[in-house]
Amino acid sequence: MTNLQALQAKLNRKLPEIALELALQENGLTTAAEYNAVTNIKPVEVSLAGLILAIAMSPKSVKELDYQVTQHDMDDLLKLRSIILIRYGLPDELAEKENTVTGRSPW
C-alpha cells in the first residue's frame, strides 16, 4: 500500500487526488512510496488533520433549484482534527484558548 492509499483509506471520503498529494507532500511524504505503519503514521495522520479542516470548511452538498447548501457538522470534524493534533503534540490554532493569570498584585 502506498502513502496515498493509506491516506485515502483513513479519510474514507472522495476528494481530488491532487488535494491528497499536496497534503502528503506538505508533510514530507511522497505519494507513491510504500506506507510504513511505524514511520509514516504521524505524517499521514497530520495530512488527514489538514484535509479534515478543508472538509469542514466546504459545503456538504449544493442543490441548484431552490439553492440549498448543506454544511458538514463542523464541531465533530474539528474535534477529530484536534484529537489528531494533540496526539502528536502539535498546536491547534483553532482550539479555544484558556485564560491564565500570569501575575498578580499583592493588593
CA 31 to chain CA mean position, Å? 17
Could you tell me the sign of the dihedral formed by the alpha carbons of 49, 51, 53, 59, in that order?
A: negative
pTM exceeds 0.85 for this model: no
Query: pLDDT tens, 12-65?
Result: 888 889 999 999 999 999 999 999 999 999 999 999 999 988 887 776 666 666
Please provide residue 2's backbone torsions phi and psi, each rounded to the nearest 5 degrees. Answer: -90, 170
Composition of the chain by helix, strand, coil, percent to 5: 45, 10, 45
CA 92 to chain CA mean position, Å? 11
pLDDT band at residue 6 using 50, 70 and 90 as cut-offs: very high
Compare 4 and 70 and report the one with higher pLDDT.
4
